[in-house]
Structure 1
Amino acid sequence: MPLVNSKILVKHAYENGYAIPHFNMNNLEIAKAILESAQENNSPVIIAATHASLYYMGGVNSVAGLVKGLIKDLNITIPVALHLDHGQDFEIIVAALEAGFTSVMFDGSKLNFNVNATITKKVVDIAKQYDAGVEAEIGGIGGIEDGVVGNIVKADPNQVEEFKDIGVDFCAAGVNNIHGIYPENWEGLDFELISKLKQINIPLVLHGGSGISKNDVQKAIKNGISKINVNTEILYTYALGLQQYINTTDVLKNKNYDIKKISTFGIEKMKLELSNKIKEFGSYNKSNQIPI
């Protein structure tokens, strides 16, 4: 199946009370784990790359080619979208669209709102030429994501309304969420604000999906969260898997140093975590229900 527009997936989730899993990729192994796990769970999925992962993997064409190639070679039949996460450079956004990304995020959260809105409208206009979806950010998401540092700034519902009018397909609103590992003194998601934003009738995106309790995830989905982003839990699950392999295996015996053996062990660990997230978000067995 060719890549699909993210807004089709998110719209279906929004209308049917679940959330699309957005999983960040940083290398071949993570991309493979994401696609295989989604296929095994018959779940639609958004596979995403940040600027940092683009640079690490070679660029937009390398990433798009890898994902498209894996979909074909692994016989992936579930709906897959390829998303640019936290795009801050207009030229990279255009390059991603030209390479075949099916949605892009413009993160202008550090800009003056009027400037943010102006550039976001520009992104919306060009994305239409590629039949691609657009995500934008209102407020600020705390923590650090692939070198992008953010402070918690709660979204203004009036600004979310304006972004809906601009033509944004789904909105990442600051609701006291954080990228990375949540500290012990975190006050939790602002469900009162999420409930207000739900009234605007635009699909909402929850960044910082790693570490939020299952109960809070379910509550957020009931209040309009239709896409949940996960990166940190994928990375540390992979890292812990590799660490476990190295610590429990004599790498000098039986060619246990073979990177394919080591990576496969990490992939299987990631797939368990990804499967849990798919079920938690409610996207399990939803692929055949999406009109494509």
Structure 2
Amino acid sequence: MIRESAPYWIGRAYRESWAVGMFNAHHLEATQAIAMAADRSRAPVMLSTTMGGIKHVGLDYFVAMAAVARKRSAAPLILHLDHGAHYEIVRECIESGFDSVMIDASSASYDENVDLVRRVVSLARRHGVGVEAQIGETLAEEGGEVIERKTTVEEAVQFVKDTGIDYLAISIGNTPGQLADNAPIDVPLVKAISAAVNMPLVLHGGTSVPQATVAQLIAAGIAKINIDAAVKGAFRSTFQRHYGVDDPIVDTRVPFGEARSLAVEAVAERIRWFGAENRAD
């Protein structure tokens, strides 16, 4: 189905020089905020969860929240698994109706990475699901330690050839999990990899990348950008304001509602940065 087809939208973004935003939805209010921003912006977005997100709310809860969001939204909401850690969780997500999955074995040996990705690609093809994988390391997901090994052009070419993935995540100086927008991005490396592999590239840690650099990266071949910290930041700042005082508010719906509104604006802002407004035609 084209409406939620990840390869369709990411491929189109790549050809037209814009990017699909992937936003992690760790709970109900974040899910609502992402869907509301997509609807308002008339933009296709990837509504994503992580291993930590699944642990927090449960896969069945996430799928149920996403189903309601999709029902209420006129914009395409593409269900995506971010940084899937093993084959079984990818299988569960695909069988639960996800449109896209990332299998991340980037910290393993090259051969182990390729073998696992091939298994996922074989399964995903039978279900019409898009597959993302990564070569090179940028490990800071959900509070982890930053360990960087930049992707090389040669290994990117070989990895794409060996796996048959739909879009490739690369390490280029990006810093996932960070709110500060000062990541030392290697734009020439993106251009070189894009020219060599001729397929959509994925940027993780998009919150840490300044707007001007985002535009350069999209022009260079990035067609999917992951955002997590900006959404979390909207909730964190609201909670700090309400609960960092001597007489905090009792009704938790108030800060959650305010945080949701801030998250809508954060998502909508990134959608504008990515050139994805009014693309859901």
TM-score normalised over the length of structure 2 = 0.93
1:145 aligned partner: 141
Q: Contact 1:44/1:80 (CA < 8 Å) preserved in 2? A: yes
CA distance in 1 between counterparts of 2:265 and 2:75 reads 18
Q: Secondary structure at the match of 1:258?
A: coil
Q: Cα–Cα, structure 1 residues 182 and 121, in superposed 2: closer, same or farther, change >3 Å?
A: same
Alignment of 1:262-277 (within 5 A): 262-277=255-270
Q: Secondary structure at the match of 2:184?
A: coil
CA distance in 2 between counterparts of 1:21 and 1:90 reads 25
> How many angstroms does 1:92 deviate by?
0.6
Q: Secondary structure at the match of 1:228?
A: strand
> How many angstroms does 1:241 deviate by?
1.9
Q: Secondary structure at the match of 2:73?
A: coil
2:192 aligned partner: 196
CA distance in 2 between counterparts of 1:9 and 1:272 reads 23
Q: Cα–Cα, structure 1 residues 156 and 145, in superposed 2: closer, same or farther, change >3 Å?
A: same
Q: Contact 2:99/2:130 (CA < 8 Å) preserved in 1? A: yes
Q: Cα–Cα, structure 1 residues 148 and 167, in superposed 2: closer, same or farther, change >3 Å?
A: farther
1:117 aligned partner: 114
Q: Contact 1:86/1:105 (CA < 8 Å) preserved in 2? A: yes
2:8 aligned partner: 8
CA distance in 1 between counterparts of 2:199 and 2:91 reads 24
Q: Contact 1:141/1:179 (CA < 8 Å) preserved in 2? A: yes
1:66 aligned partner: 65
AA at the equivalent of 1:70 = A
1:219 aligned partner: 216
1:228 aligned partner: 225
CA distance in 1 between counterparts of 2:280 and 2:136 reads 32
Alignment of 1:35-184 (within 5 A): 35-58=35-58, 60-72=59-71, 75-142=72-139, 144-165=140-161, 166-181=163-178
CA distance in 1 between counterparts of 2:129 and 2:180 reads 35
Q: Contact 1:209/1:228 (CA < 8 Å) preserved in 2? A: yes
AA at the equivalent of 2:194 = K
2:254 counterpart of 1:261: yes
Q: Cα–Cα, structure 1 residues 3 and 53, in superposed 2: closer, same or farther, change >3 Å?
A: farther
AA at the equivalent of 1:102 = D
2:28 aligned partner: 28
2:237 counterpart of 1:240: yes
Q: Which has the higher helix share?
A: 2
Q: Contact 1:42/1:286 (CA < 8 Å) preserved in 2? A: yes
**Unpaired segments of 5 or more residues in structure 2?**
none
> How many angstroms does 1:89 deviate by?
1.2
Q: Secondary structure at the match of 1:82?
A: strand
> How many angstroms does 1:244 deviate by?
2.6
CA distance in 1 between counterparts of 2:240 and 2:268 reads 21
Q: Secondary structure at the match of 2:259?
A: helix
Percent identity over paired residues: 27
AA at the equivalent of 2:81 = L
Q: Cα–Cα, structure 1 residues 86 and 190, in superposed 2: closer, same or farther, change >3 Å?
A: same
Cα RMSD after superposing both structures: 2.1
Q: Cα–Cα, structure 1 residues 78 and 248, in superposed 2: closer, same or farther, change >3 Å?
A: farther
> How many angstroms does 1:258 deviate by?
2.7
Q: Secondary structure at the match of 1:210?
A: helix
Provide, for residues 181-229 of structure 1, a one-character-per-residue CA deviation record: whole Å limited to 9, x for no partner.
Answer: 2779x67111121111111201000001012111110000000000110
Q: Contact 2:43/2:280 (CA < 8 Å) preserved in 1? A: yes
**Unpaired segments of 5 or more residues in structure 1?**
none
AA at the equivalent of 2:187 = F
CA distance in 1 between counterparts of 2:273 and 2:246 reads 33
